[in-house]
Structure 1
Amino acid sequence: MDLKDAAQAWQTDGFVILPGFLPAEELTSAVRELDLLFPSADGFHDGTDPRHARFIGDEFAGIDTFPFASAEISLVALNRRILALAKALLEEDDVHLYGAEAWAKYTGACDYDQALHRDYLNHTVLVPSTTPGCQQVEMFVFLNDVPDELGPPHLVSRKHTADLPAVPNWLLRPGQQGTDRFTAEADPQLYEAEVSGAGPAGTVIAFEPGTFHRGTQLSAPRGARYSMHLCFRPAGLQWGQRVGWAAKSFTSEWVEFVSRATPQQLQTVGFPQPGHRYWTPETLAGMALRYPRLDLSPWRPASQATQL
């Protein structure tokens, strides 16, 4: 599926599944460093990795946030193919990363089976829009093969949900009762209309914060699933929020990421484009002190570069 077809599917269904979108060779270095973040399957299931207790009993305990202990994994979050996909879906050349997580799940660690829901409540202060230029996109990226036995997300096409109101947001299985105004019993046909996102390593599932989806249970014996969750918005879309990168910008992980990232990748986390009025001799001198290993030549005015 090319990007044009992917964008059409995303607009029609609210999601698109792209099996093996990232080639294996573009994941090799990141996968090699997964142990910097998470136990291996054997390390978790045998209890030989001292970190294994962290993952017991909480489906969200397996989340590490960007920037990661592995710079290779941080760079995968802004892989050129990922950025091209985000730009094509959002119909915007200037896109910003507003959330990034790496996530490990292990069979038997906890209950990963979720109710159908939308993510918009913690992705925007408003409600989802289908208007071009006013949309956000989330992506799941598989770092290992994720068959149905390893808990791929399930999604429901907008064809079945377009008329549903913004509230309630969690739609429980038939027979279950909601406890607040954001939860309610679902129409049984919604669960029957689910599509599995199972796929090989490198698969990308792009979906809107307004798309109904859910996590599913891991059943493979001694199974482990490693993935990423990425969030993009147009640069000018100020109501799409999740994290602020400045809060982590003094960490060693951030400095390592910045030193290895391209100008395009750095633009997605808030660096002004080359030629922006922000880039002056004063700010360039300061940036050279803050990021000693960053090549600042792309941001230097042509006249200053010539003098150097």
Structure 2
Amino acid sequence: MYIPTLEDMLVAHERIKPHIRRTPVRTSDYLNELSGAQLFFKCENFQEPGAFKVRGASNAVFGLDDEQAKQGVATHSSGNHASCLSYAAMLRGIPCNVVMPHTAPQAKKDTVRRYGGKITECEPSTTSREATFAKVQAETGGDFVHPYNDPRVIAGQGTCSKELIEQTDGLDFVVAPIGGGGMISGTCLTLSNLAPETKVIAAEPEQADDAYRSFKAGHIIADDAPKTIADGLLVPLKDLTWHFVSNNVHEIYTASEEEIIDAMKITWKHLRVVMEPSSAVPLATILKNKQVFAGKRVGVIVTGGNVDLGKLPWLNS
């Protein structure tokens, strides 16, 4: 198992700069007052494909040599990695094949297709995703870019925290959502080297809390098909992301479905940015654990903004 290094992250940042946006950091007096902390929101929802995953995807795609690139790339994803890999592949002019659960939001499927990705649907479980993907890759021969358990992807995701610490004047915490752990791993990689005083906090839905339970147990506990509105956080940790989570994450906090929806509504209203449910989990956990963050400077990574506007979670609540 190759563990990406600080040098890998720095090389990734130079490689992907022509293909990504240096996203802004937003603040809100209201949210600062509500939380009792100073919050700095790194708005990765402003990336062209609408999610941070364009960083890792671009690093993988543009790191391929010309011979490898001819076969294209392939992956399985609930949405954002699929769209971001399709986007990077489109920029390089190579094919991209994606396995997605049939329950993935239509907005994310539409984005994949808009960028030229070819979708094969599967059942909404890790087992089905991996089995379906094995068939697709055997047929296409594309380079497998794992959504998170890939050194190239983790190095790319680490560039987000590099920008965040450059855009802020010191942080006590950085809070990001955790599913498979790609963003958290990249965050750990960067901050442990460039800002070791900053504590990394992972935020997870209560209804998909396998990372929390893994963290407490000291080994990976994988749920096959959890159900939560935070559809980007349905996948389990793998060996590479577990390395970073177990060694560098300070704590994992969880939030209920109602708390996630409330945080999503609050940020839409007061931060005035569109974020998907997975991106609202960090604020939900901050508001739930105010005593931990009181008086602190807290970076919050807004991981994505791809939402089915016709199926907003509060419309049925």
After TM superposition, the score normalised by the length of structure 2 is 0.27
- Larger-gyration structure (1/2): 1
TM-score (normalised: structure 1): 0.28
**By percentage of residues, which structure has more helix?**
2
